[in-house]
Amino acid sequence: MNNILPILLLLPGAAIADSTLTPDIRFSSEALGYDLQYRVYLPDGYESKENLPVLYVTDGQSYISRGRVPRVLDRLIEAERMEPVIAVFVDPRDPDNLKHNRRNQEFTCNADYLNFYSSELIPAIEEAYPAAQDRESRTILGVSFGGLNAACFGLMGHETFSGIGMHSPANHAVPALLPGYKKMPALPLNIFLSTGAPNDNTRANREFRNVLREKGYPLKYIEVRKGHNWDNWKPLIDDVLLYFYESMD
């Protein structure tokens, strides 16, 4: 049985955080044929809320440890700069052997990986938490190959996701991706794209930006003078969160 409910251990006298980041939750995927794990960020007072938007994050363990995304979420939500969201941090590593990272096989327009989200993970999240159950409330975010995966989900999974967040997508790994965006009519997607310059797939990402603009996609594009690393991506966490979830109040 999949453990889809959050586990929160409270010691006597321990302080209770305003928000919750669950421990790793193990999930047995029939679509992929192996087990994965993920963690869920729940905003303060989530128990009394409903229809919260959900941000799905690939390389979730890195976005937690390197990007400090839960802290950024706390800060922006508390300041009422962004609306409360649920965030699901998906770990591509084998939970029984963390040195075995499956991201290269999962993130390269893998139809089974998309099926894992659409038929297994998303229903589990929407059953366990007060999550909105429509595509307009779902965003996928990733960095490098994870950004490539988000671009793939845009083409392959636009019926499941409406928000596509990409930090330095490594689109060269799937040569058919850019021609796919050129060929397809504009899809109902809202897109964030960032890249560094130089030495960060810069030329390919500028070309991707141009294609998206020519197609008329809603697009936030940011280019910074950093390389392919977290010195580039971490300072842009605020930007991507506010682009998709900025409070209108």
**What's residue 189's pLDDT?**
98
Query: What does 150-206 look like in DSSP terms, one character per residue?
Result: HHHHHHH-TTT-SEEEEES--GGGSTTHHHHHHHSPPPS-EEEEEEESSSSSHHHHH
Domain 20-245 architecture: 3-Layer(aba) Sandwich (3.40)
What does the alpha-carbon distance between residue 65 and residue 69 come to, in Å, rounded to a whole number?
8
* Total Cβ atoms within 10 A of residue 9: 6
HSE-CB at 191 with a 13 A cutoff on CA atoms is 30
Q: Please confirm whether the linkage preceding 95 is cis (ω < 30° from 0).
A: no
Sign of CA dihedral 125, 130, 55, 70: negative
**What's residue 133's pLDDT?**
97
**What's residue 248's pLDDT?**
84
Please list, residue by residue across 219-230, b when 16 or more beta carbons sit within 10 angstroms of its beta carbon and e when fewer do.
bebeebebebeb
Please list, residue by residue across 134-145, b when 16 or more beta carbons sit within 10 angstroms of its beta carbon and e when fewer do.
ebebbbbbbbbb
Domain boundaries, the chain: 20-245
Listed as ranges, residues in the chain with pLDDT below 50 are 1, 3-17
**What's residue 62's pLDDT?**
97
- Bridge partners (DSSP) of residue 54 are 86, 138
**What's residue 9's pLDDT?**
34
Q: Tens digit of pLDDT for each residue in 122-148? A: 999 999 999 999 999 999 999 999 999
